[in-house]
Chains A and B, each alone.
Chain A
Amino acid sequence: MKYLLTLIITFRYVIQYAQNNAIGIAAVFNPQTESFGANFRFSYKINSLCIVPQVTYYPSFNKIHEYYIGISFQRDMVFYKTLTLYVVIHGGYNGWINYKNSAVKNAKYSNWNLEGGTGLKTTHCIFPFIEYRYNIKWKETNFNLGFMYKFGCKSGKTKSAKNYKYGKSKTCPAYDF
C-alpha cells in the first residue's frame, strides 16, 4: 500500500514538475555475484531530495538471475565545479528468479531490500553518473555506471554545482545550469 501511494505521489510530481525530471539508463555490476545488469531510472525532485524510482534486471546468463524494483532517495552532499557527490538510500522489491540453485538457506523468490551508497554526477543536460551501493540484505555491493537526460534542460548555460542552493531551484542540484 505504501509502495502504491509512493507511486501515485511520484506520478503527480512528474506531471507538475516536468522540468525537474530526468530519465536514465545504467550498466550495473555486482562484484559479489559476478553479475552484470541493466538499470532504468526516472528522477525528480521534491524539496532537497531527488526521488528516483528504478528497475534493475540481471539477465539469466549471470550466476544470479534477478530483478529489483524500488525507489532511491538521493541527497547532494558535496559540490566541486560541475561534479556533485550525493548519498543514496534505496528500498525495494527483489525477485530472485533462480533462487533454487543457491545454497542460501531459506532462499526464496520474493525479497525486500535496503541499500545505501554514494554517487557522483555532473551538471550537464545529458549527464553521466556513477553510483556505488551496498545491499544490507544480501551484503553485496553494486556499481551503476550510466547517464541521464534532463527534461527541459537549457544547453550551453552550464554553471558550477556549488552555485546551486537548496530551496531556490525546482530542479535537482545536479541538473541546474
Chain B
Amino acid sequence: MPQQIRRLLVAFAVFIALFLVLRYVMIPTSFGEYGHYRGRSLEDNAAKPLQFTGNSSCIKCHKSIVEEKSRGHHAGLACETCHGPALKHVTYADTLPHAKLPDSLLLDKPAERKNCALCHNRNMARIKFRNDTVNISMIKQVDVMKHNLVDKNNESLKCIDCHFPHDPY
C-alpha cells in the first residue's frame, strides 16, 4: 500500500472515531425514543407547574358562596374565570388551615365595570339566537356607556353595587 494512502486511512480513522465520540456525547440518550426528538422532553413538558385548580377546591372553604352561585345565572362559570388562578391559594390553605393567607396569595375580586363588560357590554357579535346547552342570547347585553348610574358625589357606580355577581339578576 502506498504511503500516502496509509496516511489518509489513518486520518479517516481518526476523523470517524472523533465523529462517533462527538455523536455519542452530543445526542441525548432519549433522542429517537419515540421519534426524531428527545423523548425526555415529553416528561419535561408534563412536569410544568399548574396555576389553575378547578371549582372542586373552592367548596372546601367557601361553601356558602359556591352554593349561592350554583343557584344563579352564573352557575356554569368556573370560580377562577373571574377570580384568577387559585392553586397557590388553595395549597397554602390546605397545608395551613385556619392561618391567615398572606396578601400575595389573596385572589382578585374584580369590582370594576370593565370586568363585567367583558361579557355583558353590548356587542353585535354576542347577540345571536341559538338554543343549545348554553343559550348565549340569554347573556344579558347592556350598553355600559349608557347604563351608567352615578352616586351623590357624581361618581359612577360599580355594576356589583346593584347586581350581586354570585347570583346576578
Say if A and B assemble together.
Answer: no
The residues of B with any CB-CB pair to A shorter than 8 Å are none
